[in-house]
Structure 1
Amino acid sequence: MEHARIEEIAEWPVERILSAVHGGRGQTLADSETLPPAAYTSQSFFELERERIFRPGWMVVGHVAQIPKVGDYFSVDLLGEPMVVVRGPDRIRVMSRVCLHRWAPVVSGSGNAKMFSCPFHRWGYDLTGQLKAAPYMDQAQGFDPKKCRLPEIRSEIVLGSIYVNLSGDAEPLGPRMDGLAKEFANIPTDDLIVGYTTEFPCPFNWKIAVETFMECYHHIGAHAKTLQPHHPGGESWGLVKEDPEQGWIGLRHPLRADLSTDHALAPGLPVFENWTEEQIRTGNLYHVFPNHLMGTSANSVRWTTILPKSANETWWVRHHLVHRDALENPEFADLMAKAKERGAVIAQEDVDVNTLQQIGAKSRLATPGRLSHLEMPVWQLADWVRDGIGETV
């Protein structure tokens, strides 16, 4: 009998991981496999992703529906950078929230404010980041508060989503999203509000979170009692990229043929205009590289940002977006509470299997797996990582 040989080293050198990453590239989905397990567990590989994929590109941090009024803000930590996203009197800005004095964050959480005041020494900044208050600094030679402003981080708003570029020199994102704009033609992005928000830590790699969201093959296992009965995973199909440079990918997952369209809609919410019955019956999943996920139906958008923390830790934030007319329903709060409960059950089903997946990926006997025709987005993400990560350290 032949037995498996267990490696003596716990973690591959990053050079070996890169070799395996590129060695597994297939010409088509039919002859492709996953990235090597080490690409999901190695902190060294994660650091390479941070420098070669995350920082040079565009990453989503929020949606304009989170900050509808002047003074509304929310904080976010992205790859170790504490940021605040705020709607000022003129426009939305993404800024560092680190005080220019001695680095304490000037704000946390979310809310509405006229000024941001550092809790350490009460340095105060207006909504544009301009320093307005610096107590007892009159004897500091050459200090000019007018020249002090919280650094602004380059941002771009596309279809209501707010993206940032940490390196500051990426090509504009908008042109690579033209195809997605067509997909969203009948979604009233300017009239969406946040119905509810849920966020939680995930003890697994960011790619695992993305891949699971973007394929419905796992409905037969993880969601056998929740999603599979009305959206059978075997009926889903991935969208072929029309432009190799486009910044997004997608997947369709239709409603079971014998069910009414009621099963494809979030209960009690107004339906978006100009949707055909076929469109209503077909769910859509989208991934904007690298960390933005969206699921659309004819009356809601499941908007998600994946915040990578380390090779083995991810923070998941989801906003359930609905048309503002939903507020006219006196049962709106109850509808959202029930929707949040249903969503939590499905999310936990994913977290449970993804946690097991991360554990298994650390096995020294784990190898790349072959992909099903139902996993086109997994293949597309793997090739996107291959293209961005480079072949040498």
Structure 2
Amino acid sequence: MNPELVRELVPAVIGVLVRRGADFAAAEDAVQEALVRALETWPDDPPREPKAWLIAAAWRKFLDATRSESARRSRELAADAEPPAAPAPAADDTLRLYFLCAHPTLSPAAAVALTLRAVGGLTTRQIAAAHMVPEATMAQRISRAKRRIEGLPLDAPGDLTTVLRVLYLVFNEGYGGDVDLAAEAIRLARQLAALSAEPEAAGLLALMLLHHARRASRTAPDGRLVPLAEQDRSSWDTRMIEQGVAILQAALARDRLGEYQAQAAIAALHADAPTAAETDWVQIVEWYDELLALTDSPVVRLNRAVAVGEADGPQARLAALADLDPALPRHAAATAYLLERAGDLPGAAARYAEAARVATSVPERDHLTREAARLRQLTRAQR
């Protein structure tokens, strides 16, 4: 069975069952049982309409699990109105399911975790890594979320802010993790932007496109991480960049700035620079000021300090970093970069090694380790 096909179909099938009246937890269980049956039968007898097959099989599993005969009969009548062998509806229930998982009874953290698991196709381990919590903690959070909405009619969708956050996390996991969900996140973001007049929906789509356009240059053929300043800009997808910029400009014209639009504006300035040396760091600092006013996030403050260093020099950036919590992700790496720019090679090497020890991915860890080794070698050569 094609894993990519399954990842595409499962949330859509769950969405169909929920639309027919199943509660979320029961729908997910029924779909998982249908998948087990598919694993047994599809290799020898593949269906012409995989989605329709899964919908019919999952619906039967759901009906079998329903104890009330009156509820069972009413659901069976509803199922008879749509023959199991008919092609599945063209409407994409996946996007609707994103909204349903952002249920008002769930906290934003629980809604994000549940949606990533049930709709995004991520494993509990991957979600835990994205949130930097133990896997057992995340498993409990997801279980509690499923219990919280068990039996509830999911007819009061959550807010757009939570859905946007979910799409953002799915994209980031797909971009840098071991499950490629970036294209799926972009597909759903396109649908959301087309359905919503909210500028932030368009801003998120623009941000995804601008980052995705640089994807091919982010890693070397041997898997090494390539920093932005060293990337081959000729490999960037210029058509995707143009599309992202156009979407961003239309969103900004609505004059309701949000954090995704501000992040997209920063990404657009990076994409617009012919070379790293020609990056407009002054404008980037200004956009970080806007983003900081919107979020007051320590991570944004850290990224702004990096931009200040590029615009005003490493000493200015070190001063900006001094006010931030050293425990912030990538604080040590940012300090190492600045120390190197300021000429303190031994100090920079030590900070790169420190950053490598707390890196959240293997490519990032290896890159930081190489940087530390490079600076140690330069230090020895200067003695």
TM-score interval for Structure 1 and Structure 2 normalised by the shorter chain:
under 0.3
Larger RCO: 1 or 2 (CA < 8 Å, sep 6+): 1
Higher strand share: 1
Higher helix share: 2
